[in-house]
Amino acid sequence: MGITKSDIQKYIHALKDKHTSVRSRAAYALGEIGPDARVAVPALIEALKDDEEVRSSAAWALRKIGKSAVPSLIEVLNDCDVSVRDLALYALGKIGTDARIAVPALIKMLKDDEEVRYSVAKSLGRIGKPAVPVLIEALNNEEKEVRQAAVYALKMIGPDAKAAVPALIESLNDEEKEVRKAVAKALNRIEGKELAA
């Protein structure tokens, strides 16, 4: 028979239940429905601010809903709570190339604190090829940490980041040793010659 709009509304309503386990299961159920549960996105975004168990289920559900959750996830990137921003980054990264419209907002976040910065780089790496042009630009950022995070993301993208090779070769002259080392590893990965650790 399938899931009805009424079923989805019941799960949305259950996100306000007084019991944590009910809220968490409701979020999980909405994720199981996938893209057809897009009407639940605002309630799931709100659930990202709940307790840890519910937050995790909500982030997973938003990731499963996919593309239609991306604009709301972009808005959450400005939340004052680091863990909420981190969950939004996780969901965007897992959505992958369908989250390409988030790339400009993610690039701005490369200036966030260290823990968030690497989550941002990971998300950009998972978004993949659509992120490459802005990551190339970030290689010239004045902040070492931003350059290093951009290199990390390009390494994650791997062979699909071939367009970045000339800029990465330029970055082998970076004034910071850590950046140069990261660039060498990224070039090996992109060119399919990753060295054993």
Mapped to the 3 state alphabet, what secondary structure does 30-85 carry? Answer: HHHHHHHHHHHHHHHHHHCCCCHHHHHHHHHHHHHHHHHHHHHHHHHCCCCCHHHH
Helices and strands: H and E segment counts in the chain: 12, 0
Q: How far apart are the first and last CA of the chain?
A: 52
- The pLDDT assigned to 194 comes to 56
pTM above 0.75, yes or no: yes
Considering the four listed CATH numbers 1.10.10.60, 1.10.10.10, 1.25.10.10, 3.40.50.1100, the one that applies to the domain covering 1-65 is: 1.25.10.10
Measured torsion, CA atoms of residues 20, 24, 29, 31, in degrees rounded to the nearest 10: 150
Render each residue's pLDDT in the chain as its tens digit; 197 residues: 478 889 999 999 999 999 999 999 999 999 999 999 999 999 999 999 999 999 999 999 999 999 999 999 999 999 999 899 999 999 999 999 999 999 999 988 887 777 788 889 989 999 999 999 999 999 998 888 889 999 999 999 999 999 999 999 999 999 999 999 999 999 999 998 654 43
The residue ranges of every structural domain in the chain are 1-65
